[in-house]
């Protein structure tokens, strides 16, 4: 039995690391273009870009590891089943459940490791990534901004920039809300330029060839139009604190920190559903590793397919269903229709139940 256990684990581990490497490469490849643009077009130093790249990897692994587990099970057991090795082993009197039990135990171990990983490593990487982005934004504001979208990165002002070329801006619109019931101040300029002042966490904006529409304080229905050749503005970053003291968001917190925030919100009479949803999402995502193996084992043996393309296709369908269920569960949890303790476990419960039924039926015959 020990020989069979080692054989099954060996068959699983090879495809697991292969799928892990391939999926990591594919997902990172999708972000390499953006990273290359930061270096080539926006002049961000390679050190900060490398940090952003490294901080991206842990976040990807929380999804890649469960998917790799499912793919490895389908590939390994699918090959063994198609070659009639499993049939031969069963005919020799070995119960089918004993064959897949080592894989289920491995799934539990991987899930427990992912619980710690999602609780400690992911929040650290997410928080460090935000700090790096703020550091990049204070040194090179244009690198942290996108053209063609409304930008809320600065206090008091909303920016819309049609084109950004390094620190040079084209067709700039700036909106400054004046408060409830008062018209918004609007500044339009043909050209602009960012001048970073990182030590003050501030950006100076030089505008050229533009106009400013301002309402009359005494009669808000009247506007003054000011034309200018050159106009300077000081823009303070929204997170205008010392970058070492940036406030943590829920995704930056460990489960212990989230529980403290939950207790604090409850004392203040505030509903902590978003934080509870985040806690249970961390744990349920980790246990998707076990659920995928539980579902993948009987599917691989029943379908008896050794073709990699077909097994990848089956894995893709299962993963798609799982994450659609997860998105829906998160929505109903945040809306308060179902408690987070139940809602965030719905995908695991559904696929886990299907996997348990299939495994039972497989082992019963």
pLDDT at 332: 94
The pLDDT of residue 362 is 84
pLDDT at 183 over 90: no
Q: Given pLDDT bands bounded at 50, 70 and 90, which one contains residue 67?
A: very high
pLDDT of res. 184: 76
Length of the chain: 365
Over range 267-273, report the average pLDDT.
Answer: 86
pLDDT of amino acid 295: 95
Q: What percent of the chain has a predicted confidence (pLDDT) above 70?
A: 83
Q: Write down the residue that tokens 């700039």 correspond to.
A: 172
SS3 173: strand
pLDDT above 90 covers a percentage of the chain that reads: 33
Q: What is the pLDDT of residue 256?
A: 93
Average pLDDT over residues 310-320: 88
Task: Write down the H helix ranges in the chain.
Answer: 2-40, 46-82, 85-91, 96-116, 122-139, 255-267, 273-303, 308-335, 340-343, 346-364
Cα separation, 82 vs 76, whole angstroms: 10
User: Which distant-in-sequence residues (6+ apart) come within 8 Å of 26 by Cβ?
Assistant: none
Predicted confidence band of residue 98 (pLDDT cuts 50, 70, 90): confident
Averaged pLDDT of the chain: 83
CA distance linking residue 77 with residue 74, whole number of Å = 6
Mean per-residue pLDDT, 273-286: 94
């Amino acid at each position: 039995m020990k020989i069979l256990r080692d054989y099954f684990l060996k068959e699983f581990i090879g495809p697991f690391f292969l799928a892990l490497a391939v999926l990591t490469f594919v997902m990172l490849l999708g972000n390499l273009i953006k990273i290359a643009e930061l270096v080539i077009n926006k002049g961000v130093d390679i050190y900060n870009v490398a940090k952003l790249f490294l901080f991206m990897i842990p976040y990807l692994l929380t999804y890649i590891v469960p998917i790799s587990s499912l793919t490895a099970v389908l590939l390994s057991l699918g090959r063994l089943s198609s070659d009639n090795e499993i049939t031969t082993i069963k005919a020799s009197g070995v119960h089918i459940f004993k064959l897949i039990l080592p894989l289920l135990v491995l799934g539990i171990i991987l899930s427990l490791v992912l619980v710690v990983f999602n609780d400690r490593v992911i929040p650290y990487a997410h928080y460090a990534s935000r700090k790096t982005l703020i550091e990049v934004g204070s040194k090179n504001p244009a690198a942290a901004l996108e053209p063609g979208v409304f930008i809320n990165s600065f206090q008091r002002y909303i920016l819309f920039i049609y084109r950004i070329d390094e620190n040079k801006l084209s067709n700039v619109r700036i909106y400054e809300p004046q408060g409830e019931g008062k018209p918004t101040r609007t500044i339009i300029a043909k050209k602009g330029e960012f001048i970073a002042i990182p030590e003050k966490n501030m950006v100076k904006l030089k505008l050229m060839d533009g106009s400013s529409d301002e309402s009359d304080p005494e009669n808000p229905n009247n506007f003054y139009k000011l034309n200018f050749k050159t106009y300077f503005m000081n823009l303070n970053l929204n997170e205008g604190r010392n970058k070492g003291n940036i406030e943590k968001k829920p995704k930056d917190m460990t489960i212990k920190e989230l529980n403290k925030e939950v207790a604090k919100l409850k004392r203040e009479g505030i509903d902590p559903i978003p934080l509870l949803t985040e806690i249970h999402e961390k744990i349920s995502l980790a246990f998707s590793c076990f659920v995928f193996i539980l579902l993948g084992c009987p599917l691989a043996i029943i379908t008896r397919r050794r073709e990699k393309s077909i097994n990848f296709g089956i894995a893709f369908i299962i993963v798609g269903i799982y994450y659609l269920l997860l998105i829906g569960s998160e929505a109903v949890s945040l809306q308060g229709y179902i408690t987070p303790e139940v809602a965030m476990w719905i995908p695991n419960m559904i696929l886990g139940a299907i996997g348990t039924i299939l495994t039972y039926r497989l082992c019963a015959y």
